[in-house]
Structures are given as C-alpha cells and as structure tokens.
Chain A
C-alpha cells in the first residue's frame, strides 16, 4: 500500500492505495468521475481515458496512482459544466465535433493540454497531440476544426456567441448544436458502464476455443468455489427459449449442444468484481468434441460438408434477380468486362465495448420488472427477443448513451447474458466485456465474393449486368437474408441497365456471424459494380465521368428490381463534381510527369442508396405541453448520428417554438412508440415523416378548437396527444424467382472523388483528398450532414485500404488497424438539395450512403494512378504490388 496526495480538479485528496492501482480506476470507480472512458482494454490504444496530469495529456489506464503523489490531475468534469462550459467544450459543440461522444472527453483534454502551451497550433501540431485519440464517427475533420476554433476563442479573436446560430436564422438548414452535445462535451452523458448500480455483480463469459464442436459437459464446481463468485450460469439455467431470434431462432444466449464459432459463449460467471469473474471463467471446465470446421462458403458447400445448423442447410438462403435476357445482351455487347471481386469480413468498430446492465425493479406484491440498459437501436424489438429468450415478459429496455454502433446493434449482443443472469442470480448484473470479447459477442460485416460481367454497346451504353455473389453468413443468421435482399434492391446502383441476371447465396460457416454494418450489403456489391464500370469505360476509351453520365438512371426508368423511379437527381451531382474532377486530373498529370515512385491517381464512385424500404412503417406521438412546448415520443435511437437534432429542429420549425421547448422521449420502451430500428438510414425519413404527420394532426386539432395552448385544447374537449404515421406504400418481398418487386420509397445520391498517391515501390496508398457531392434532399442540419459524410468517408477508406476482421488475429484497435488522426485526409463536401417528394420537409437520410461509393472510388483512383486494379479488399500494400505486377505483365 502507499499513501499519496493528489489534487484532482482543484481539490486535494489523500489516498491509501495499492501500488498497481490505475488512475482510471481511481477516477471511475472510487471518485465516480466517469468522463474518462475505457475502450481498448487498457492498452493505451484509444485515448478515451485521457486526462491531464501536471499539464500533460496522459492515458489514465496506463498511469499508476502510486506515481502521482503531489500531482495535479484535471478530468473532463474539472473543465466545465453544461451551464458553465470551458471554451474548448464550447468549440467542440459549435464545430459539430461531437457525434456519439464516447471519445469526446479524451479528445477535449488532449486538446486542452495542447492549447495550454500554444493557442495557435498548426494542423500538424493538432494531429501530433491527438495521435493517440481514436474517433470512429467524425473522420477527425471537425475535431481539428474544433481545436482551431477553440484556439480563436482562447486568443480572444472570437466569442462562442458570435458562432452560435441564433433563432432568427430559423430552424431548418441551420447548424444548431445538437441537444446532447454539451453533456457529452462535459463528460456527464452516461454510457452504460457509467451508470451507478448498487450491489451489482460483475459478469464474465466463458467463450469457446473451438470453431465447431459439441459440448459434452460443463463443470462449474471449481469456479463456484473461487473468491467473490456468486455462481456460474449455463444454458440449463435460462428459462426461456435461450434463442435470440432476430429472424430465425438459431443463436443461443449460451450454447447448449454445440458451439459454432471461436468465441461462442458457453457459460457466464457472476462475481463481486470483474477481475474475480474473469479469473473464475478460467476454472469452468468445458469438455468439447471438435467437429469439422468450415471457415469459407466453399468449404461449407463442399460435398459431404456437415450441416452447421440442425434445421437449415449450409446454403441457407438464395435469391435470384432476373430482368431481361442478360446472357443474350452480353453476347451482343461491343465490350464486356468479366472478373471477380471480394470484400472482407470487417468489424463495425464502435469505440464503446458491448456493455450492458440488467436488474430487477421490485413491484409491490407482484412480479418485478426486469430492466435492461444497453445500446440497442431497436429497443422494442430487442425487448421482445429478450422476453422470449429469457422467458420473462415483464421487462423494460432503456437505451443508454451509446458510443457508436454503425450497424452492430441491429441485433442483441450482451443484453441476453445480463438479462438471463439478473433473473438467474436475482441480483443486479453489469457486464463490461473486454474489447476482444465485444468483438466475439457482436456481428461483423459480411464478406462477399462476386463474379461479375458488365457489357456495353458500341456507343457506351450499358447493356447487361450479370453478378453471382456468395455471402459468408457466419455461424448464425441474424439479418443475413436482409443483407442479401438489400444488395439486390440496390444492385444496379446509380445506373440504368436493361438486362440483369443475378444469383445470391447466403452460406453458414464457422466464422463469427454477420449482420448489419453501415450500408448493409450495398457497399459490397457497389464496389464490384463501380469498379467494373471504370474498367469498362477504360476498355472503351471513354472518360469515366462521361461514361457514368451516359448511363445514369433517369426518372421513368426501372432499377434492377423493376421499380420505376420518380426522382434521380444524380446527373446534377456529376456536373457539380466535374470541375473538381478536372482539377484533380490536371494536378495528378502534373505530379505524374515527374519521375518518381509515387504516382497520383483520381477515381470516381457513385452511390444511390434506398431509404424507406418496402413495408416500412413508423409511428411517432407528440404531446402539447402546458408551457407551449412539445414532447416527442418515439424510439429513435441516437448512437451518434444526430437524431436528436433532427427531431428537435423539425418539431420546433413546424410548431414555431424554440428548440429548448422541444422535449424528446426516445430512449425507453415505457415511453416511446415502437418506431422500428435506427438502421437503414431511415430515422430522418421515416420518423421525421411520422413526426411531421403527428404535428399536422395536432395543429389541425388546435385550429378546429381555436386553441393556442394545451389548456385550451383540453377545454375544447380535444386531446393534447397525437399519433403520426409514415408508411411506405410499397410492401412485400422480392419475387422469389425473379427478384423483381417493390423497393425503397426514396434515394439519397452521391458522387465521390478520390485522390490518392500510390508508392509503386512499396504498394502503400495515401488518400490525399476525398470529395463528396451529395443530394439528400432538404438539409435539416448542415453540420450533422457533413459529419455523417466525413465519418463515412473515413470508414469507407478504412474498409478500402486497411481494415479486416480475422478471428484470433484481430484482438484490439491496433490489430484491427483502426483509422487514426494520422490517417486523416482532406475532405470536401458539395451539397445539393432536391426536395424529396415524400420526405419530411423534403428530406431523406444520408448516414450509410456516405461510404457506399468510397471503396470503389479509391480502387479506381489506385488503378488510375498506376494501372493496379485491386479486386479483393482491403487493398493492402502486398495486394497493390501484386496488382501492379500483373498490370505490367
């Protein structure tokens, strides 16, 4: 033990501590200063736990308290409060640098340490100071801008009020700060691990070391005797179905008969401390009988391969798409590209681990309520899944603040374990899985393998497209069929292709299960299509921009599903991009005239992304409050996109009341409408639409009653609460034989321009700049729109060049190759606003489309730079060099 005196946020404390106590534990556990976050298993990789010690930014997970005697520590809580924020916190809020907010306290403190020394740092200074702080949401651009803005505030050149939009500027098309931004900047937004839970047991799971094996026996007796252990839970202790049924009931909370991937959970230990629980997991004896392992679709489809799921064949879903006679059209085409592409299994990589808390809330004389606090983006649906899985109906789900998700929370992860454990052990349960466990507990982006043929006639008009794609579903289904259908619904991308022939296969394997990941299907198939488009343009000697313009779908023409579109404002984006394209080509030509190993290339990609799928319905309720404000009720999860801004600004605009009188009830199943998932970029379009409908009903009632207040409405005998609905008139599945049928009600369009430099000696690729021209309809909040675009471009470049999830090798953020601020590149956004006919105020969504064109744009730029066409993502240096060698013959 050692005694130390430390000044923390201005107050001197004395601590008698064990020598190995980490500062993050003193802050979070003992002092309840939870602004310092934990993401990387204390490896110092994420910077989310950054605090300032003696003027320097340090990672509190690596800092020992015993070494801090006499030190001065500043945490985010010591910087400012929401009512009295520090200028740096103001700058982060006003610059739009805060999305999910999980990295924000660490970012702000790293910025403070820098700005305390130099209030006018260069971009390079900023990048150096924040080199250890990761962000998955922003692409770092607005973080750099926030620090520059903070510098101006600190130098006295500018005051926050001069930057902050005022109400006279209106509510639509104005970058009002997000309602949740300031509490995130001040570190007081509570993520699940930050919530104080009295007497909580800490959970740890036993994970399978085998990718495919029968469970012969589980012996928990040794673990049960270990210090602090409350007990061990296995499948037999779960009273419900023990199946998390997203679409099919194939995924257990705890495996009972067999394990299907390395990392599958087989038992859970609850103990007084996390360390005790983790230690006890090592003592749970599980006897396995290994089975044949099939890691790839080819292996799973091989003759004689054992069936992974007892009820479904390994080839668990197929769906063709046939429009016209593609074979004949290809045979008659003047030019045809025939090749194959593949994309990798990838982790969505939210910074926050898959944390969850569950407890029983007592009811007088009746069944207690099981409360689950997690990171769901579909709280009502997930609550229903959990009710069946754990066999307990009296339940409530609450969404805590969520540190990013990017599709990963389309399905239940750690909630099943904590909910079952709270019931089994009858005590509060907290589960803070490690980063590697979080990767095991959650889905991944599906790997696709695609064989394509794309043809054009002598004039350069596309004639036919044939694609045969196989999707590695992994060990469990989740929403695999949806991913395949979404890929097919957007198969022809931005183009009119008269004849289409597609075959899709979804295949169970013994890899981690796949599910939603930003874009959810289209990023994979669009990479193949847009690469083939460029290859075909080159083969025909037509400029890629002109070739795309010639073939863009026009209103009145059908997509590959047969659905005729009414709006398709993409040519205008191409024209808006033209001067940037010309400038970039000229600059590249100038650079490439010099001798040297580094070659500059320019590539285009387009994306036309459907929003508001067939049968999609959303409801939102509004209630006129006594003070003239409005409360909005709807389960609109906001893991960082800015849905709070969207709902608040639309409601304020339509009701003509200030934003601070709009109250949101969006996070708990006992107050919200069941409005569907915060997925598919649908929240603005669907919930925004339902909100507008609800307000219209309220205003009609107020007009009929000649009422201006809730009191007058009630006096007139009318309710103060109204329900709004937004429903896509299209419904039903694709035809199982032809893949023709309904489609999305709206599209968001984008063109991206990638400028890259390829080192032809090493194969390394540097993205110099990404430019996006986007039309997402009327823009509610420009800063939020840009934030989505910038984060998506960064994620898209990571997908294109670096990121891959390999079970067993990908263990943390370094092995995942998480994009750092050092990888950040210049970004520019061009916004066009074509009002969408059926969108709220003319708006549609944008969050996923932003990375749909990125990978092909980057690949096309690499090919343009040096002739190397990379067919298999990610385009790591070895693949670039191999492609370069192939190009040289």
Chain B
C-alpha cells in the first residue's frame, strides 16, 4: 500500500520526541515542552537553560521555576502571567528579560510544565 511522507518538520509538529538531558531520557512534545512534568529535575532545567543560552540560573530564575512547578501541581495548569507576578513579586517585564524565550517558551519550558492537551 502506498504511504505518503510528511516532511521532517511535519513529523516534529505532530509527534513527541525523546531526548537525553542531564543523563536521563525525557519526553518532549513537538514544541519542546515536557510531556510529563514528573520527568523534570533541577539538573535537567539547568541543562535546558544552557541550551537556550542562559548560562547562569540565578536566584530569581529558581524562584520563578519553583513557583511555576508548585502552582502547576496545586492547580493542574500553568499559572497565568498575572498570577506568576502575584506569586513571585517579579514584574512581567522583568520576567520576560530573565528567560530567553520569555515566560511561556522560556520559564515554563524550563520548569517542565506540559502544554495543555488537545485531541484524543
């Protein structure tokens, strides 16, 4: 039977990927977000930060990452930006500057929070 071949970019868009980060296999979705937030570790966050061009993960970074994770497990979702600001006392503009990629593609990805799910 014939079978078409979607481009590599399309395969990436559609599917998840497993990568070795800080010595452990981690499953990511097509956008580079953790599929399972329980696979996260501080070491993985630091390694991913370095990949993203953030060499020094400082106190403010960890404050935000820890808040994101605590919020996620308490509320079953990522916090809205306003809620991160309320929870950490750091302004949105400061947060945007702290993480390459900003809050969603920077901080949230490093914190290991998965994307909301779409279809079944």
Contact = CB atoms under 8 A, between A and B. Distances in A.
A366 B85 contact: yes
Contact of B74 (A363, A723, A733): A723
B76 A616 contact: no
B13 interface: yes
B118 A246 contact: yes
A381 B103 contact: no
The residue among B6, B75, B85, B119 with the most chain A CB atoms within 10 A of its own CB is B119
24 contacts: A312-B7, A315-B4, A317-B4, A318-B2, A363-B82, A380-B77, A381-B118, A383-B116, A387-B104, A393-B103, A395-B81, A396-B80, A482-B119, A516-B119, A612-B120, A616-B120, A621-B76, A669-B80, A670-B83, A672-B76, A674-B76, A677-B118, A677-B120, A733-B15
B116 A249 contact: no
A688 B118 CA distance: 18
A516 to B, nearest CB: 8
A393 B102 contact: yes
A503 B4 CA distance: 12
Contacts of A248: 10, 13-14
A316 B93 contact: no
Interface string B88-120: 000111000000001110000000000111111
Interface string A593-624: 00000000000000000001111110111000
Interface in A457-508: 479, 481-482, 503, 505
B20 interface: no
Given A317-B6, A393-B103, A679 B120 contact: yes
A676 B10 contact: no
A366 B77 contact: no
Nearest to A249: B13
Contacts of A676: 116-118, 120
Contacts of B92: 366-367, 394
Interface of A: 245-249, 311-313, 315-318, 320, 363, 365-367, 369, 378, 380-381, 383-384, 387, 393-396, 410, 479, 481-482, 503, 505, 516, 612-617, 619-621, 633-634, 669-670, 672-677, 679-680, 682, 721, 723, 733, 736
Contact of B117 (A317, A479, A481, A617): A617
Contacts of B6: 312-313, 316-317
A380 to B, nearest CB: 4
Contacts of A313: 4, 6
A616 to B, nearest CB: 5
A633 B10 contact: no
Nearest to B91: A366
Nearest to A673: B76
A54 B15 CA distance: 62
Given A620-B76, A675-B76, A394 B82 contact: yes
B119 A677 contact: yes
A371 to B, nearest CB: 11
Contact of A384 (B75, B83, B93, B115): B115
Interface in B1-34: 1-4, 6-7, 9-10, 13-15
Given A367-B81, A633-B76, A669-B77, A312 B104 contact: no
B3 A320 contact: yes
Interface string B25-61: 0000000000000000000000000000000000000
Contacts of B82: 363, 369, 394, 396, 670
B85 to A, nearest CB: 7
A312 B10 contact: yes
A286 to B, nearest CB: 30
A726 to B, nearest CB: 12
A733 B15 CA distance: 9
A396 B119 CA distance: 21
What 7 pairs across the A-B complex have the smallest Cβ distances? Answer: A673-B76, A613-B120, A619-B76, A380-B116, A674-B77, A381-B116, A394-B81
B112 to A, nearest CB: 15
Given A311-B7, A312-B10, A317-B4, A410 B80 contact: no
B91 A369 contact: no
Contacts of B116: 378, 380-381, 383-384, 674, 676
Contacts of B119: 247, 410, 479, 482, 516, 677, 679-680
A667 to B, nearest CB: 14
A503 B83 CA distance: 48
